[in-house]
Amino acid sequence: MLRIRHFFLICSGAHLPLLRRAPAETNKYAGIGATIFFTGLFAAIAAGYALWTVFRNPWAAVGFALLWGLMIFNLDRYIVSSLKKRDRFGKELWMAVPRLLLAVMIAVVISKPLELKIFEREILAELTLMEQEQRQAEDSLVRGAFTSRKAELATRMNALQSQISVQTTRVDTLQLRAQQEADGTGGSRVKNLGPIYKAKKADADSATAALQSLQAQRAALTGEIQAEDDSLAARLTALERHKPDGMASRLEALGRITGKSAPIQWANWFIMLLFIALETAPVLVKLISPRGPYDDLLDQHEFAFAMHRKEKKAILEMQTDARIRKAEEETAYV
């Protein structure tokens, strides 16, 4: 336990020789150091999971997690150690504001990957819906490129079908008249294959040829329509389907499910507020805690250093003035 406490005291950024002279403060700074350590640990876990969702590489995820965790740990340690107790609370609060804002920003960055992990099942379900919507949008875009051409072909087919219907009726009528002329049931009422029958037969044959031409045009147009359908099917098959599974897609899915569900939205906020509380806890503890013996010893140490620096500066100024006077006297003598 002593080793663990010593480790947490190192994490707190306190000056250990001075802290040994104020043993009553060790528990407070050990708690601050533990909070800083676990904040860095949570940051490492969040960064590792975030990088895993991007690259799916365990070595890269572990390496980046350690680097990010150490950076957050060092930053938190600096934020707390640089906040010193003053005689006036207002001045302490003013000095703590930028540190608190930085701590809040770090907490938001840390909490977001862990939120993605906590709501992973809901996010995966939403990603499936997003994938279906993306496919429908891509299909609609491709189909839209063929819409005008298919509409033109459909218009031509309808007009051609109407002509074929009219021509079919005409052929049937002309063939019936030629047949009635041949068997004497119609026309001249004379059963013969004379000039009148031949004329009516020629009209029926001409109409039949025109009908066959229209049917050939319909077959060709049907081939064009089938070619367009085959081309559309080929374009749809050739589409590259990308499954939304990256960090940005998961963040978008999280935003969508929080917008749809109030309980998830509240849970999301509570998770973020929890990490903000953890991240700002060391600064707040240092800010609201009363001034203790360690702070007095630290002030004395800093004051002694400042006085020593002034003393050295004064000695250097005196030596400089002495050298200048000596140089002036030598110059005047010459």
| Segment 83-141, tens digit of pLDDT | 776 666 677 777 778 777 877 887 787 778 778 878 888 888 888 888 777 777 777 77
pLDDT at 235 over 60: yes
Query: For 298-327, what is each residue's pLDDT tens digit?
Result: 777 777 878 888 888 888 888 888 888 777
Burial of 217 (0-12, 13-18, 19+ CB in 10 A): middle
Distance CA 126, CA 106 (A): 27
* Residue 181 pLDDT class (50, 70, 90 cuts): low
Judged on CB neighbours under 10 Å (0-12, 13-18, 19+), 121 is exposed
Closest by Cα among 297, 279, 206, 248 to 15: 297
What does the DSSP assignment read for 191-215?
---SHHHHHHHHHHHHHHHHHHHHH
| Count of residues in the chain | 334
CA distance 212 to 219: 10
64, amino acid identity:
F
| Neighbouring C-beta atoms of residue 15, cutoff 10 Å | 15
Q: To the nearest whole percent, how much of the chain has pLDDT over 90?
A: 0
- Alpha-carbon gap, residue 226 to 237, rounded angstroms: 16
Model confidence pLDDT, tens digit, residues 28-69: 888 888 888 888 888 788 778 777 776 778 888 888 888 888
CB atoms within 10 A of CB 283: 21
Residue 33: the pLDDT is: 85
Model confidence over 140-157: pLDDT tens digits? 777 776 677 777 778 888
CB 284 within 8 A of CB 90: no
Q: Is the pLDDT of residue 268 over 80?
A: yes
Q: Which tokens is 193 given?
A: 């294959």
Please give the structure tokens belonging to residue 106: 């770090």
Nearest to 29 by CA among 106, 96, 81, 103: 81
- Per-position DSSP letters for 244-261, written without gaps between them: --SHHHHHHHHHHHHHH-
Distance CA 42, CA 37 (A): 9
Q: How far apart are CA 313 and CA 303, in angstroms?
A: 15
Say how far residue 63 (Cα) sits from the centre of its chain.
Answer: 22
**pLDDT band per the 50, 70, 90 thresholds, residue 255:** confident
Mean pLDDT value across the chain: 78
Does residue 191 surpass a pLDDT of 80?
no
Q: What pLDDT is attached to residue 184?
A: 57
Structure-token pair, residue 319: 């030596």
Predicted confidence at residue 245, as pLDDT, reads: 67
Rounded Cα–Cα distance for residues 279 and 80 (Å): 11
- Name, in order, each residue with C-beta under 8 angstroms of 86's C-beta and a sequence gap of 6 or more: 92, 95
pLDDT at 196: 67
Which pLDDT score is estimated for 188? 53
Residue 193 has pLDDT above 60, yes or no: no
Main-chain phi, psi angles of 291, to 5 degrees: -65, 130
Q: What confidence score (pLDDT) does residue 8 get?
A: 85
